[in-house]
Amino acid sequence: MDSVIVAACLPAIAISLKGGSLEIFWVGTSYLLAQTIVVPVYGTFSDIFGRKSVIIFATCLFLLGSILCGCAQNMAWLIGARAAQGLGGGGILTLAGVIISDMTTLRERPKFASFIAFAWAFGTNIGVPVGGAIGEFSSWRWIFWINIPVCVLGIIGLVFALHLHQEISSLRSKLARIDYLGMSIFIAATTLLLYGLTTGGTAHPWKSASVLAPLVLGIIGLGIFVVVEWRVVAAPMVPMRIFSNRSASASYFGAFVHGLVLWSFTYYLIIFFLGARGDALFKSSAETLPGSAPVALSAVFAGIWVSKTLHFQKLTWIAWILITLGTGLNALMKPNSGSGILYGLRVIAGIGGGFLFQVPLFAVQSHMSNKEDLGIATSMITFFRSTGQAFGVAIGGTVFQNEFDRFVARAVTQGSLTEDFVISGAQATGAYGIIEMFPKVVVEVYRYIYSDALRTVWHVTTGIAGAGLLASLVIKDASMDKGHQSSQGFREGKVEENIA
């Protein structure tokens, strides 16, 4: 939830802390950037140092970041605190799923994984309306302070209730297992790539060296990372064997596309209601719910379905068909569309998106041959989904801004707009209040410009979702009727001892 809740409160934060557009941009981006970069790092650290200690560390870091965010007195303070919050959030996001996998057999896992998928999907999709409500009716600081009691209770529960098997070895031997070279290359390359993606078209033009240089260096760095992990280090952070199975590789790609499409859907849908419909912030936030509410429920249904059938292939295909079809149907939305189009049709993509919070993980774990890879293989699903989210914002933003400028230029050429009322694509996501002060005829023109520009975003994301659908066709079915896969399973004896 914390990765999206801030978006609805950015105007209030800007006023309170006197932030400029670039600083406001980094308030949202710093969290996503930090969260994504550390996901595989937490996976490999938890393999070495144990899940419990690492997730407690991550939760404490997230708690500290939340407190610092809530107490921020200037924009630099808030941006740094958001980065710290993201470093902790990445660990929580990763290790919750890994620990569930540790504690359960493969046949039991879908039921328990449903809770994790529900929490992620629910938090992601209620973040915008909750943030909108807090931003409109209370202080923006509460979007951070509400994390404090949740984290405190979570830390207490982890300390006293989580008992997992852990390898007994010296600190020196554990430190010797860390892939320092691979980790350094990965963090540097991923940071550069995501920096270029997130700043392109927002903080800097896409053609500028400030964007192209980190993008190119990031791609080259990731290529070097693959070679190092494959050929150089003896104990790689990300063993390349986890990609050797085509079903697993297709599932990793599917997680990336899922993150891209669903995040773009979530991120830009509220812009339709703010810009094309001219609705207030809280109402616009609430209007996103028909598309987001089914996500959490269908994520739970997917777990129940797979736990009953112990197979996932057909559900994977159904999920991709639904999210592709539903994303395409977004293109029917216009400023004057009826409730059926504005709200009803969006349920389709929500159901498909919910299924896809679950099934890629099942495909990866059911085809996994080495139980020592459970932590990093599970973490990479989270990493690819989070990376897809960054791509979704970047691609959606580029398409939206370019199309907005194109439709504005067309309106000027046709005489519908004059130069006095021109809003650029770079300004469009924060210009709703300005546009509302224009003459009514100009406001009406801009509502259709927003709608038409977003329609192209839906077309592009539908094509990308179609690529995910095609990739899913190569995923082989496998039975989930298997036993335990992890070396860090739940210590039942400890529980019995505590009960006694």
Q: Are residues 223 and 350 in the same domain?
A: no
Q: Are residues 166 and 194 in the same domain?
A: no
Q: Are residues 230 and 326 in the same domain?
A: no
Question: What share of the chain in percent tops pLDDT 70?
Answer: 92
Q: Where does a domain end: 214, 236, 258?
A: 236
Q: What's the pLDDT score for residue 499?
A: 36
The pLDDT tens digits for 122-159 are 776 666 667 767 766 778 888 899 899 999 999 999 99
Q: Are residues 86 and 221 in the same domain?
A: no
Task: Pinpoint the alpha helices (H) of 71-141.
Answer: 75-103, 109-137
List, in order, residues 6 or more apart from 246 with CB less than 8 Å away.
474, 475, 476
Q: Where does a domain end: 206, 221, 236?
A: 236
Q: What's the pLDDT score for residue 500?
A: 37
Which residue type does 259 have?
A: G
Q: How many angstroms separate the CA atoms of 187 and 321, rounded?
A: 35
Q: What angle do CA 321, 323, 327 make, to 5 degrees?
A: 120
Q: What's the pLDDT score for residue 495?
A: 40
CB burial readout 404-414, b (16+ within 10 A) else e: bbebbeebeee
Backbone angles phi, psi at 200, to 5 degrees: -65, 125
Q: What is the radius of gyration, based on Cα positions, of the chain?
A: 23
Residue 126's CB is within 10 A of a number of other CB atoms, namely 20
Structure tokens at 347: 């349920």
Q: Are residues 307 and 350 in the same domain?
A: yes
Q: Are residues 148 and 197 in the same domain?
A: no
Q: Are residues 217 and 318 in the same domain?
A: no
Q: Are residues 169 and 184 in the same domain?
A: no
Q: How many angstroms separate the CA atoms of 166 and 147, rounded?
A: 29
Q: What's the pLDDT score for residue 428?
A: 84
204 DSSP β-pair partners: 200
Q: What's the pLDDT score for residue 494?
A: 46
Residues of the chain with pLDDT under 70: 1-4, 7-8, 20-22, 121, 124-129, 132, 135-136, 202, 483-500
For residue 13, the domain's CATH number is: 1.20.1250.20
Q: Are residues 432 and 292 in the same domain?
A: yes
Enclosing domain of residue 438? 5-178+237-499
Question: 415: left (phi > 0), else alpha (psi -120 to 50), else beta?
Answer: left
The pLDDT tens digits for 425-451 are 878 877 888 888 999 999 999 999 999
Query: Which of 86, 88, 68 has the alpha carbon at shortest distance from 77?
Result: 68
3-state secondary structure of 233: coil
**CA dist 432 → 274, 329, 415 (Å):** 7, 25, 22
- The number of domains in the chain is 2
164 DSSP β-pair partners: 490
C-alpha torsion angle, residues 191, 193, 194, 196 (rounded to 10): 120
- To the question of pTM greater than 0.95 for the whole model, the response is no
Q: Are residues 138 and 223 in the same domain?
A: no
Q: What's the pLDDT score for residue 201?
A: 72
Q: Are residues 195 and 244 in the same domain?
A: no
Structure tokens at 280: 């207030």
Question: Could you report how far apart the first and last alpha carbons of the chain are, in Å?
Answer: 38
Q: How many angstroms separate the CA atoms of 454 and 384, rounded?
A: 25
DSSP 311-343: --HHHHHHHHHHHHHHHHHGGG--TT--HIIII
Query: Which of 22, 466, 92, 85 has the alpha carbon at shortest distance from 260?
Result: 466
Q: Are residues 76 and 99 in the same domain?
A: yes
Q: Where does a domain end: 217, 236, 255?
A: 236
3-state secondary structure 401-439: HHHHHHHHHHHHHHCCCCHHHCCCCCCHHHCHHHHHCCC
Q: What's the pLDDT score for residue 485?
A: 57
Q: How many angstroms separate the CA atoms of 417 and 399, rounded?
A: 22
For the stretch 137-145, contacts whose Cβ atoms lie closer than 8 Å and that sit 24 or more positions apart, written own/partner, are 137/282, 140/9, 140/12, 140/13, 140/16, 141/69, 141/70, 141/71, 142/70, 143/2, 143/5, 143/6, 143/9, 144/66, 144/67, 144/69, 144/70, 144/85, 145/66, 145/70
